Amino acid sequence: MIAEQIRARGVRDQRVLDAMNRVPRHLFVPGAERHEAYEDHPIPIGFGQTISQPYIVAFMTEALGVEPSHRVLEIGAGSGYQTAVLAELGATVYAVEVIEALAIRARQLLDELHYANVHLRAGDGYAGWPEHAPYDRIIAAAAPDDIPRAFIDQLVEGGILAIPLGVINQQLHVSRRVGGKQETIGTMPVRFVPMIKKA
């Protein structure tokens, strides 16, 4: 997976490659689909949600430039796989998942794998996690129409945000907070599940 799907497609940060090599991806995939765990495509994890393809996880993680000193907010934790990759980089991760059953499952698995630097809760991703803000990095694995204002407000000056935007023709936006606004660093076409706002 690392050699053929990630390094071969341009991800060069050795820390990211090593982190993904250490995370047992198959444990984050439901049993019926576990044989597909290391293939380069999204996999259903129940409740209409997916675990992102390995390349996208690697690309977004590299784009963030996560350091061990960073506090990272993750929106749409899903299975907890991206959470684990971020934790392997040494960051303190605050992850939010709107579907409570997925949040419980992910938290149990991350606890079993002894990720002490992870905090995960069920909640409305649109609100971020203000109690622990500000964050050095924010990453979202679900697509809203526009960047929620809470994300900008909870990001430190100079902090980086990686988020898919749009409904049909989605674009991954990587941007940096400068003067309270987001300046785009780069974009690429992607396909993510929509971001759900809790009723």
The one-letter amino acid at 36: E
Residue listed under structure tokens 């694995």: 141
Q: Which two tokens stand for residue 6?
A: 């990630």
The candidate with the shortest Cα–Cα distance to 75, out of 140, 31, 147, is 140
**Torsions phi, psi for 74 (to 5 deg):** -115, 125
- Judging by beta carbons within 10 Å of its beta carbon (0-12, 13-18, 19+), is residue 130 exposed, middle or buried? exposed
CA 53 – CA 46 distance, rounded (Å)? 16
Helix (H) or strand (E) holding 186: strand 181-189
52 in catalytic set: yes
The answer to whether the CB of 57 falls within 8 A of the CB of 85 is yes
Among residues 52, 69, 79, 175, which one is catalytic?
A: 52
Write the CB contacts of 3 (distance below 8 Å, at least 6 apart in sequence): none
Residues catalogued as catalytic: 52
